[in-house]
Amino acid sequence: QRRRLESIQAGTVGAVALDRRGLIAAATSTGGIPGKLPGRVGDSPLIGCGTYAESTLGGVSCTGDGEAIIRVVLARRALDILKATPEPRHACQVAVDVLVEEGRGGGGLICIDWKGQVGWAQSTSL
């Protein structure tokens, strides 16, 4: 049964949204990792790692190598970069570069800023 479970394809679903009142939300749901160690917690439920939102700045949802995403606190890092670089697409690319270089992993993210501008970047193929 374990082999059957390990063969199931799983993936991450993420979303970021800005409503009419200017409130921002971000959410991330993961399919998990087949054969993971009991008790392992991935990046998706860790606020600031796989998901983060702040209505005065933006929202981010991440996917990829969970351990690397946790190491660099990727979602929060992306919003910190967005503070200095008010272009979401550029902020996402810089954050992915950090994930690869400092986190030693791969992945991607989507974000929206408080003005409704959207950005995304990934280090992996689609």
Q: Which residues are catalytic?
A: 12
Q: Which of 92, 94, 86 is closest to 116 using CA atoms?
A: 86
Q: At residue 35, what is the residue type?
A: G
Listed in order, strand segments (DSSP E) in 4-117 are 13-18, 24-29, 51-54, 58-64, 107-113
Structure tokens at 106: 């791969």
Spatial neighbors of 55 by CB under 8 A, at least 6 apart, are: 22, 23, 24, 114
Q: Which amino acid is at 55?
A: S
